[in-house]
Structure 1
Amino acid sequence: MRNVYVLIVTALILNACANPKSMNDIQKSYVPETPKLTSDVMTPEVLWSFGRLGNASLSPDGKTVLYAVTYFNIEENKGYRELYSVPADGGEAVQLTNTASNESEPMWRPDGEKIGYISSASGSSQLWEMNPDGSNPEQITDIEGGINGFKYAPNSKEIAYVKQVKLDENIHDMFPDLPKANARLESDLMYRHWDNWHDYTYNHIFIAKLGAERITGGKDLLEGEKFDAPDRPFDGTEQLAWSADSKKLVYSSKKLSGKAYAESTNTDLYEYDIETGKTRNLTEAHKGYDKNPSFSPDGKYLAWTSMARDGYESDQTRLFVMNLETGEEKNYSANWEQNAEHLSWSRDAQAIFFISDIHATDEIYRVSIADGHIQRLTDGVHNYQTVEEAANGKLVATKVSMSQPAELYLVDMATGTDEPLTAVNKGLMDQLEMGKVESRWVKTVDNKEMLVWVIYPPHFDPNKKYPAILYCQGGPQGTVSQFWSYRWNFQMMAANDYIIVAPNRRGLPGFGMEWLEQISKDYGGLNIQDYLSAIDDVAKEPYVDENRLGAVGASYGGFSVNYLAGHNESKRFKAFISHCGIFNFDQMYVTTEEMWFENWDIGGPYWDKSNAAAQRSYTFSPHLFAGKWNTPILVITGEKDFRIPFTQGMGAFNAAVLQDIPAEFLHFPEESHWVTTAQNGILWQRVFKNWLDKWLK
């Protein structure tokens, strides 16, 4: 479940945006004025008023940054996305679009003369282009059913686009005389994934020539193949890369089906030769994820990220580079234990910039192609999310922290210092008092050092006693770094007058592979003790009321809460909140979809009595300890959550009520593993606060 959150946020924002159906709608937009706040303390409504910056990219000459901002209209319960640009040397931002069409996937044409983007202004999602100043928008494609994404060839003469192709029969194809029948007939796995049932279509890549006429079709690179490229549900056109000479296209795909797909993470890179029409597998020897292909500007190299082991989605993300002339591969992570993500070539093709998690912050690194030397460029209490080199020799990067949503920054490579390029949310930030964020190193039960974030309420008074909340991270290998979330927002939780304790327990990246991998097949072991070490350490402080402690979490964090609820004999915790948490391991194994995850982290099926590791894992199932529950619990689920089916939450809630334990069940019929719409998001925050206040204040 790790490494998907940036993609998830992008996909969910687009999902939440409305598609206009008439030209009248195109004239409408929603870019609100900065509201005048009546308090300097965060509220759910303020949290959902922030503009959400994304899709940053530099112009081909490296002088201008293109980006998107999404604003949510709470009353309408939908989002509006507009496109902007700002000089890479700094200056005033320019709004390029002003429509209700929710422009997405903005991209510079390689010749720099146009900006391409996806718009639904015509009634379906199509490629449009406009001048760099936002003038003269023009529809470029008219593909039946619309497209999901696109990528320009470097010569600006062709495009690759992605659209869905129906290749499977549905129930009406099989039984045409039953047009009103509403059913599915399945014979293999992966009939649903994360939050969508399979719709009998597959993502396919098409290539078409750009010209004076609108594009109505193209060459299907996977014609007749029942595989997705890019893979669903989170991969996009970042998984497509054109060669520098525009003669080849490399894409990532997992060419497996059904049960085989459900049990494997073996995604490969495929090279399609436009002249011959032939496709070859470039990474057949690699058994895990191979993704994010990127050609060097000089056309000599192909870089990508790779995991070594099949079935292990949280394996080390390694940086590989292939010499295209010799075919030789080099693993630049061979003597390095960190992950390398969000790759970006230097303008001279002599180095690659990337992002890596180190001690619960995400920093910018540079690796030399010549000698493989890896250099850390930044160091601070923040998360960088994207990085590109500008023409001025500095880096344009997206940065967030627990105390600030995403903005663009200009980073000096020599000093690691940065300066803001955008100020999307300055008006709101200037009116808010954020709580102090500090790190502390806590001793674990086996005498190791664990980094723990502590977030204090705004206007913290050390002479008062505050209730404290233990935050249990999901993933389970999801980092507790300096992320900014619109649900699990630490400043929002602290603004409710709580001290938040967020430990980087066993199973998280940024502290070496041994620390990361210990959690697999030990869900109820050392990482649970890490949680307790963290909250007990902070609870000793004079400003923490040790009699008013709670624990909250989602996904693996929800499992953690359910497990802690069955091991709370001392009443250390007085309240629990479990969002989409695993309750019954047996049922989870046979109702989830990504079997590679269960097989790796749990060890295998519950019926394999010869598998000692798996049998031990099932002894950690929270439902086995439900009879020991003694503490009020709020359970939250989304009905479209197929990773951890919502019936897991039902089981937890019902178990509490049947034992006369105070409980509430917050169920979202239209949400999935996350909460993505404005009013549901605000409701989530209100119920979250009310529950904790009821039992801890």
Structure 2
Amino acid sequence: DKNRIFVMNLASGQKTDLTANWDYTVNDIAWHPDSKGLFFIAHHHGVTPVFSINAETQQIDTIATGLCDYAALAPLPDGSLVSMRHSMTAPNELCLVATDGTVTQTTNVNTELLAKIKMPTVEKVMVPTTDGKQMLTWVLLPPDFDQTKKHPAILYCQGGPQQAVSQFWSFRWNLALMAAKGYIVIAPNRRGLPGFGTEWNAQISGDYGGQNMRDYLSAVDFVKQRPYVDAAHIGAVGASYGGFSVYWLAGNHDNRFACLIAHAGIFNTESQYLETEEMWFANWDLGGPFWDKSNPVAQRSFANSPHKFVDRWNTPILITHGEYDFRILASQGMMAFNAARLRGVPAEMLVFPDENHWILKPQNAILWQRVFFRWLDRWLKPEAQQQVNS
């Protein structure tokens, strides 16, 4: 769960880990023009800065940071570099990072359009966890936010499971769009995410349904204490491992949630173990096969399969899936949908016969967004629903 930077002497074959004493995982790398070090990008405490590392001394310096994610590296001969950056409220633009650290945006592809859109307010909140740690949680407040009114909220459950909740921009799971629909969005950097050290990142492996789920509930309980959060109308949404999270929370949320949405999620880890094309990952993260009774890690993983808690399901749930998904087969969603209906729980399912693990085709994406917000509005905005019914 840690990407490291190695330099190899081509003559001797000796390899040196430049990041041996650095506790974070590396994304992109690029040589500095003088060949004495490298630039790299890494998740770091909820954002994604640009760093440099000296190949001889292994000293690491922050080159560019802010309330944003940098997403590319193109070094220039003078030691500066061209990069892209984005945030939860703005898609990518090119920028120039000068040798003194000054950052200048060099394109304005989206400036005119963004000027016409009211964006949410993004807050960084530190939430105490059940094991005495502090968890960085992003909270997005709707545009034209009125703190004198009650607002419904959404818990965003990240996939991966080791995928950062940084200042990411997405055309699918867009937190700014969710906030623009009138929802307060709660996006925790729960256990298992990069950017907070290898221990935090690796903790989730072998502990599905464990501390990371308690982290989710801690974030919800912390934020819903605010007077402007409608604690009776909070939803939970997520895809992939986020879908697993929603299915697991469906049986373990103690009535915190008024509705749920799971996309491409794992419902039955035993069948998932034998269905997925990503076998090495299942062996590592689940601890091994479910038939190995002598393996306590595997047995704990499979005992926490969401389908084990269906007897407690009582919350309306929307399930979406793509039939070309070979990571997590659509049968997982179909099982969850049938389980909800057999339990008498309000449920809908949307299956895309021409999509894989992600909904990528434009018209499909529009349909997905419409169904997504229709379901949330139905259960989390009672006043709006009363108007529709009348």
Question: Shorter-normalised TM-score: what interval?
Answer: over 0.9
Query: Could you tell me which residue of structure 1 aligns to residue 386 of structure 2?
Result: none
1:394 Cα deviation from its structure 2 partner: 2.1
Change (3 A) 1:335 1:393: closer
Match among 622, 644, 656 for residue 306 of structure 2: 622
Is this contact kept in 1: 2:135–2:188, CA < 8 A? Answer: yes
Matched, 1:351 2:28: no
CA distance in 1, matches of 2:206, 2:371: 33
Match among 158, 170, 173 for residue 488 of structure 1: 173
Name the SS of the counterpart of 1:510 in structure 2: coil
Matched, 1:544 2:229: yes
Query: Could you tell me which residue of structure 1 aligns to residue 99 of structure 2?
Result: 413
Match among 88, 99, 123 for residue 402 of structure 1: 88
Query: Could you tell me which residue of structure 1 aligns to residue 133 of structure 2?
Result: 448
Is this contact kept in 2: 1:353–1:388, CA < 8 A? Answer: no
Is this contact kept in 1: 2:41–2:48, CA < 8 A? Answer: yes
Match among 645, 666, 674 for residue 329 of structure 2: 645
Is this contact kept in 1: 2:130–2:215, CA < 8 A? Answer: yes
Identical amino acids, percent of aligned pairs:
54
Q: What pairs with 1:289-304 in structure 2 (closer than 5 Å)?
A: none
CA distance in 1, matches of 2:162, 2:316: 27
CA distance in 1, matches of 2:77, 2:5: 25
CA distance in 1, matches of 2:99, 2:138: 28
Name the SS of the counterpart of 2:48 in structure 1: strand
Is this contact kept in 2: 1:567–1:625, CA < 8 A? Answer: yes
Is this contact kept in 2: 1:318–1:331, CA < 8 A? Answer: yes
Name the SS of the counterpart of 2:43 in structure 1: strand
Name the SS of the counterpart of 2:270 in structure 1: helix
Amino acid at match of 1:600: W
Match among 443, 468, 471 for residue 156 of structure 2: 471
Is this contact kept in 2: 1:340–1:356, CA < 8 A? Answer: yes
CA deviations over 1:163-200 (Å, ceiling 9, x no partner)? xxxxxxxxxxxxxxxxxxxxxxxxxxxxxxxxxxxxxx
Query: Could you tell me which residue of structure 1 aligns to residue 388 of structure 2?
Result: none
CA distance in 2, matches of 1:392, 1:506: 40
CA deviations over 1:286-307 (Å, ceiling 9, x no partner)? xxxxxxxxxxxxxxxxxxxxxx
Query: Could you tell me which residue of structure 2 aligns to residue 329 of structure 1?
Result: 15
Name the SS of the counterpart of 2:123 in structure 1: strand
Match among 321, 326, 343 for residue 659 of structure 1: 343
CA distance in 2, matches of 1:619, 1:595: 19
Match among 194, 210, 222 for residue 509 of structure 1: 194
Query: Could you tell me which residue of structure 2 aligns to residue 316 of structure 1?
Result: 2
CA distance in 2, matches of 1:603, 1:377: 39
Query: Could you tell me which residue of structure 1 aligns to residue 107 of structure 2?
Result: 422
Match among 171, 182, 205 for residue 497 of structure 1: 182
Name the SS of the counterpart of 2:113 in structure 1: helix
Structure with more helix by fraction: 2
Query: Could you tell me which residue of structure 1 aligns to residue 64 of structure 2?
Result: 378
Query: Could you tell me which residue of structure 2 aligns to residue 596 of structure 1?
Result: 280
Is this contact kept in 1: 2:47–2:166, CA < 8 A? Answer: yes
CA deviations over 1:447-490 (Å, ceiling 9, x no partner)? 10000000111111111110000000001111101110011100
Match among 233, 240, 244 for residue 559 of structure 1: 244
Name the SS of the counterpart of 1:627 in structure 2: helix
Q: What pairs with 1:270-285 in structure 2 (closer than 5 Å)?
A: none
Query: Could you tell me which residue of structure 2 aligns to residue 530 of structure 1?
Result: 215
1:392 Cα deviation from its structure 2 partner: 4.6
CA distance in 1, matches of 2:11, 2:230: 65
- CA RMSD, aligned part only? 1.0
Matched, 1:462 2:147: yes
1:326 Cα deviation from its structure 2 partner: 3.2
CA deviations over 1:39-91 (Å, ceiling 9, x no partner)? xxxxxxxxxxxxxxxxxxxxxxxxxxxxxxxxxxxxxxxxxxxxxxxxxxxxx
Is this contact kept in 1: 2:39–2:73, CA < 8 A? Answer: yes
Name the SS of the counterpart of 1:377 in structure 2: strand
CA distance in 1, matches of 2:26, 2:289: 32
Name the SS of the counterpart of 1:590 in structure 2: helix
Name the SS of the counterpart of 2:49 in structure 1: strand
CA distance in 1, matches of 2:157, 2:276: 21
CA deviations over 1:585-621 (Å, ceiling 9, x no partner)? 1100111111111111111111111111111111101
Is this contact kept in 2: 1:346–1:388, CA < 8 A? Answer: no
1:446 Cα deviation from its structure 2 partner: 0.8
Matched, 1:688 2:375: no
TM-score, reference length from structure 2: 0.96
Name the SS of the counterpart of 2:247 in structure 1: helix
Amino acid at match of 2:8: M
CA distance in 2, matches of 1:581, 1:540: 29
Amino acid at match of 1:443: P
TM-score, reference length from structure 1: 0.54
Name the SS of the counterpart of 2:199 in structure 1: helix
Name the SS of the counterpart of 1:660 in structure 2: coil
Is this contact kept in 2: 1:382–1:482, CA < 8 A? Answer: yes
Is this contact kept in 1: 2:73–2:82, CA < 8 A? Answer: yes
Matched, 1:610 2:289: no
Amino acid at match of 2:285: D
Give the ranges of 4+ consecutive aligned residues of structure 1 lying more than 3 Å apart after TM superposition: none
Query: Could you tell me which residue of structure 1 aligns to residue 76 of structure 2?
Result: 390
CA distance in 2, matches of 1:388, 1:590: 42
Amino acid at match of 1:617: S
Query: Could you tell me which residue of structure 1 aligns to residue 316 of structure 2?
Result: 632
CA distance in 2, matches of 1:514, 1:464: 40
CA distance in 2, matches of 1:413, 1:648: 51
1:406 Cα deviation from its structure 2 partner: 0.8
Is this contact kept in 2: 1:345–1:388, CA < 8 A? Answer: no
Matched, 1:586 2:277: no
1:641 Cα deviation from its structure 2 partner: 0.5
1:388 Cα deviation from its structure 2 partner: 2.0
Name the SS of the counterpart of 1:359 in structure 2: coil
Amino acid at match of 2:365: G
Name the SS of the counterpart of 1:505 in structure 2: coil
